[in-house]
A and B are shown apart, each in its own frame.
Chain A
Amino acid sequence: MSDSAATSPSRHLLDVANLTIHHGQLLAVDDISFRLEAGEVLAIIGANGAGKSTLLRTIAGLHTQTSGTITHDGDEISKLRTFRRVRRGISLVPEGRRLFPSLTLEENLQVGAQKAAEGPFNIAAVYDLFAWMRERRRQKVGQLSGGEQQAVAIARALVANPTILMIDEVSLGLAPIVIERIYEFLPSIVAQGISVLLVEQDVSQALAVATRVHCLLEGKTSLTGTPDQLSADAIESAYFGTIHSAATPEASA
């Protein structure tokens, strides 16, 4: 039923196998499996309540799965605490930015960089990527606009030099022009060897940047494939569950 179902001796950067997650009594994610390879941008799309954010939070270790396994670079990490997963190279930019309001922009980055792995990103490199941050580094993050805060949230995750960057709803609450500016930076991040797991409600934006798409419907995988393999109708049906929702699963398998 999934791409991880086929056994392979090769080590994948991230291997999510048969993951089932509950919120209390409520089933949020139902037996989901997928793999993330190095250099990939995997977009998880789906309507509100499909289980996308829960899936990312569980991979980050903020939520405990009911069953299934998460393997990172060949090691099972399902029981690792969040901070240990971050130190292994799995960073999450959470929904709603979640910056530290009592800290300045630079202090937010310093907290992100405190246990950084070796890699291309440090605070100076981030200032080169987002030039405006250098000038405003001593400002409290609450004084920044929503788009600027989102950029700081991404930068805070980047300075840890992750191998996997998970971004949850990057476009939420932002103006389209701001979203475009943030997405402009994504290729340069991937070019540094970082794989991206992107949760996005804006399907067109996700299709534009993703190398592979995984659609969720009510906690289950409804469609998966590369953007050029998937027709608009197939995505629409998988997204909303309206027409033959299981018609084109595993297109990329």
Chain B
Amino acid sequence: MIWLNVIVSGVLLGGFYALFACGLSLMFGVMKIINLAHGDMAVVAGYTAVFLVPKFHLPEVWSFLVVVPIFALLGYVVQRTLLQKSIDRDPFTTLLVTFGLSVVIENLLLEIYTANAQSINIGSLIAKSWQVNNTIYVSYLSLTVLIVSVVVLAALQLFLSKTSTGRQIRAVSDDREAAQLCGTNYRHIFGVASSLAFATVALAGIAFGMYTSLSPTAGGVNLLFAFETVVIGGIGSLWGTLIGGILLGIAQQFGAHFNEQYTVLAGNVLFLLVLAIRPQGLFGKKVVMS
């Protein structure tokens, strides 16, 4: 029964990791860029929920109604102004730009909000849980985040497969030049993909702020978990991202069962094992270099 508890906790945690990682996966899948500021963007979303949303007289639990649209717009603007210029140069420039963005965000947050930890107040919801049996408790918040994660991934999958813009995103992801030859403005499509990625990272940041306390430097470790999730699941596979998150969550809970300090280590070991045995990830497609 203890192991079942480990698995349940891991699955619930995995939902959060998948929500965190799907934006990273989308940006890499479409634009071939690794956004090193991804974790910091989530932290900014959390801070936005804490400090901006009360001005709209909304309960903080509904903060996503304000933060997600803001981040969707921000994603488009950041891509078209900052990231596109670096994509036009080379992938290394993009890494440097997003790394620089990460540093700037952390320092701005420290300057504006100090290093004091903040959290999104969701009242008694934080402590409520569903008791499955004597040993297994399912937190309402974790379950909600898992459900949100599955809904977001399903909606993204549906959007990519059933809409004209979704088809263009997949086309640009396959072959940017050929997509241009079909009349697609790939810069606009990059902006849309970035917008979606930022919207999902806003949801993840809000979930993070509800789970635990936010600090300006929390982005780095979140980026690491998101990156591990994407690599385990396989780049370009949305459902792979969910499975990757769940496996990472289970590995971490497995490690934590033996010693709290093994939590991150167990996840890292799984990440390295997948990289060694199946570098393309569990659901990713193998890339043959010519």
Contacts and interface: CB of A to CB of B under 8 A. Distances in A.
Say whether A associates with B.
yes
Interface of A: 60-62, 81-83, 86-87, 91-92, 94, 98-103, 107-108, 110-112, 114-115, 156-157, 160
A83 B184 CA distance: 6
Interface string B170-194: 1101110111111111100000000
**For B174, B179, B186, which residue has the most chain A Cβ atoms within 10 angstroms?**
B174
Nearest to B185: A83
A36 B167 CA distance: 33
A103 B171 contact: yes
Nearest to A101: B174
A82 B170 contact: no
A106 to B, nearest CB: 10
Contacts of B179: 100, 111
Contact of A98 (B178, B184, B185, B186): B178
A162 to B, nearest CB: 10
Contacts of B170: 100, 102-103, 107
B167 A103 contact: yes
Contact of A81 (B168, B178, B182, B185): B185
Contacts of A92: 181
B184 A111 contact: yes
Contacts of A87: 183
A81 B181 CA distance: 10
Contacts of A111: 167-168, 171, 179, 182, 184
Nearest to A114: B164
A94 B174 CA distance: 15
Contacts of B168: 111, 114
Contacts of B181: 60, 62, 82, 86, 91-92, 94, 98, 157
A157 B183 CA distance: 10
A99 B178 CA distance: 7
5 contacts: A61-B180, A82-B180, A100-B174, A111-B171, A160-B182
A61 B178 CA distance: 12
A156 B186 CA distance: 17
A108 B167 CA distance: 9
A38 to B, nearest CB: 21
B183 A100 contact: no
A101 B174 CA distance: 7
A102 B167 CA distance: 10
A75 to B, nearest CB: 17
A111 B175 CA distance: 12
A100 B171 contact: yes
A187 B184 CA distance: 28
Nearest to B178: A98
A135 B178 CA distance: 24
B182 A62 contact: no
Contacts of A82: 180-181
Given A100-B170, A103-B171, A111-B168, A62 B183 contact: no
Nearest to A96: B178
Given A94-B178, A99-B178, A160 B167 contact: no
Contacts of B167: 103, 107, 110-111, 114
Contacts of A91: 181
